[in-house]
Amino acid sequence: MIQFPSVYTNSMAEKNKLLIIGHLPPPVHGVSAINSWIKSSPVINHEFEIQFINLSLAGSIADIGGFSLKKIVRAGRTLFAIVKTLHAYTPSLVVYNISPDGFAFFRDVFFTSIIKLFGLKLCYYIHGKGFAKHTANSKIYAFLSARMFQGAYLVCLSASLTSDVERYRHRGIFILNNGIPGPTQLKYDNAENKKVTFLFLSNYVISKGVLDFLKAFAIVRKQTNKEFGLILTGKEYDLSIDQINIFVRENGLENNALITGALYDADKTNIFSNSDVLVLPTYNECFPLVILEAFQHSLPVISSYEGAIPEIIKEALTGFLVPSKNPQRLAEIILSIINNPAQLNNMRTNVVNQFNQLFSFSVFERNFIATFKEILGH
């Protein structure tokens, strides 16, 4: 049964203690960013007494998912820190970021089995997906997953992501959407013939759809003489900047494309300010923070039917949804925007309103407090 939290207000009662065992930067990615904001939130820390144990074993994005002896040593140190803290701290609730993949999954099965020996209330705050797929493909994985989930509360990022874990025996599923800090920036352009600039903002990873983004614009270039721009901002990963530049030259996009590499802070904000639409044709996603960042900067979004994205993007109101691995359909949507840029004005207002109502950090803080007080009250 999925349960949505009630609304709670501050009280003078003694604070409940949370031990959050989760990922913190570095490296910076969705889960570690959310946890760092929780850790530094005065609002959340006013309601709970929180201790963190860093679960990160990777030193960089490239290290995530891999196996090394260094990770074994880090895992041993982390387990020692968990056991020591549980003896000294006695939290009201242990909140753990479990992973569905690779070495991290087996680590989490072992760590959570140790935590259960202390008889404490346990909650999994789940930022990934893939449990159902791996369970279907492996009897060992299915057995270990069932043992891990038994007796735990589950917090999922959206209602659509609960299907990945609802088959397991658990004590209840709760929904907590992501939110990000910072003010909104509404921009408005009434020009009917405006040059539209499309932004890809992610590491240059094939599964994020970077090749589909490029292929779509190669199709667009052949079908229109109107001006448009495309910006690719991110860290080299599967593709290098040189490889992207070769594709750009071979497809006549030299006058349209800007490849920036990774940008941060003010430079990243400027890229949002100089763009009109975010394009993220990803193959595998849960609840991407980059879409919330785009909304925050009043950019409509074109993305795929992955994870929580169909719950975030309202078709033709705050963006458009396309099948993943379909550059032709992506090109059709891009062309429709190039040919009618005025439609973006209403969408800009819509995305800012939706961000303020659902995805601002103040909304996240209220929902975080409500969710975990609901779990503590069970």
Query: Which CATH number is 69's domain given?
Result: 3.40.50.11930
Please indicate, yes or no, whether residues 162 and 235 belong to a single structural domain of this protein.
no
The total number of structural domains that make up the chain: 2
> Which domain range does residue 284 map to?
196-358
Contact 152, 169 (CB under 8 A): no
pTM over 0.75, yes/no: yes
Instruction: Answer whether residue 190 is part of any domain.
Output: no
DSSP code of residue 26:
S
Please indicate, yes or no, whether residues 248 and 321 belong to a single structural domain of this protein.
yes
Contact 205, 280 (CB under 8 A): no
Contact 306, 284 (CB under 8 A): yes
Instruction: Answer whether residue 189 is part of any domain.
Output: no
Please indicate, yes or no, whether residues 140 and 24 belong to a single structural domain of this protein.
yes
Return the CATH number at 348: 3.40.50.2000
- pLDDT truncated to tens, each residue of the chain (378 aa)? 455 444 334 444 689 999 999 999 988 899 999 999 999 999 999 999 999 999 987 665 555 556 677 878 989 999 999 999 999 999 999 999 999 998 899 999 999 999 999 999 999 999 999 999 999 999 999 999 999 999 999 999 999 999 999 999 999 999 999 999 999 988 777 566 689 999 999 999 999 999 999 999 999 999 999 999 999 999 999 999 999 999 999 999 999 999 999 999 999 999 999 999 999 999 999 999 999 999 999 999 999 999 999 999 999 999 999 999 999 999 999 999 999 999 999 999 999 999 999 999 999 999 999 999 999 998
Residues 6+ apart with CB under 8 A from 115: 82, 86, 94, 96, 122
Please indicate, yes or no, whether residues 151 and 49 belong to a single structural domain of this protein.
yes
Give 96's strand partners. Answer: 21, 124
Please indicate, yes or no, whether residues 219 and 316 belong to a single structural domain of this protein.
yes
Please indicate, yes or no, whether residues 121 and 245 belong to a single structural domain of this protein.
no
Instruction: Answer whether residue 58 is part of any domain.
Output: yes
Instruction: Answer whether residue 187 is part of any domain.
Output: no
